[in-house]
Copies of this chain bind each other. A is one copy, B any other.
Amino acid sequence: MTINIEIANKDDFKAVNSIIKEGHNEHAEALPHIFKDIDQVMPGKNFNELLEDPNCEVLIVKEYGDIVGFAVIELSESPPFDSMTPRKFAYMSDFGVKRSSQRKGIGRELFNECLNWAKNRGADSLDLNVGEFNRKAISFYENFGMKTVSRKMTLPIK
């Protein structure tokens, strides 16, 4: 396998969007009351804002030149409340590998690259949110030693 992990640029939007769409469709199918199935999940404007944000990095994985994975990771700090322990953390707001390129270790390489990014910027932890329906992703993250801190619960009202 020949893969390269690079920092994304504006020209990568279309390819990244098609991977985002695959993941978003799974969400829209599992949680239709929260997510809508649409073609362009992330507006191009937002993608460019991420690229320009100095606290954020968009990484892409290329396999023989094609974009087959991406991650969005940003550096954050705990809010300045007396009740919170001051800490710096990396938040992975998006992560995906093209379905046809899964189960080849690409996600693992990309995740480790994100972890290095977080380490190099002095983050105390790498944090993320994942849908409870997405057992595949939860197992993937657990394999890196990630633990659940909190859960979001909901009660539909008839």
Query: Of B32, B41, B78, B151, which contacts A152 at CB under 8 A?
Result: B151
CA distance A144 to B153 in the complex (A): 11
A12 at the interface (CB under 8 A from B): no
A130 touches B150 (CB 8 A): yes
- The segment from A52-60, A61-69, A98-106, A120-128 found at the interface with B is A120-128
The answer to whether A34 touches B78, judged by C-beta atoms less than 8 angstroms apart, is yes
A88 and chain B: residue at smallest CB distance: B157
| Copies of this chain, whole number | 2
Give the most central of A31, A138, A157: most B CB within 10 Å: A157
Count, chain A residues at interface, CB 8 A: 48
For the complex formed, measure the closest distance between the CB of A75 and the CB atoms of chain B, giving whole angstroms. 12
Q: What residues of B have a CB within 8 angstroms of the CB of A125 in the complex?
A: 33, 154-157
Within 8 A of B (CB), among A17-56: 24, 31-36, 38, 40-42
Query: B115, A155: Cβ atoms under 8 Å?
Result: yes
Known contacts A24-B83, A38-B82, A124-B33; is-contact A130 B153 (Cβ 8 Å):
yes
A interface, CB within 8 angstroms of B: 24, 31-36, 38, 40-42, 78, 82-85, 87, 89-90, 115, 118-119, 123-132, 138, 141, 144-157
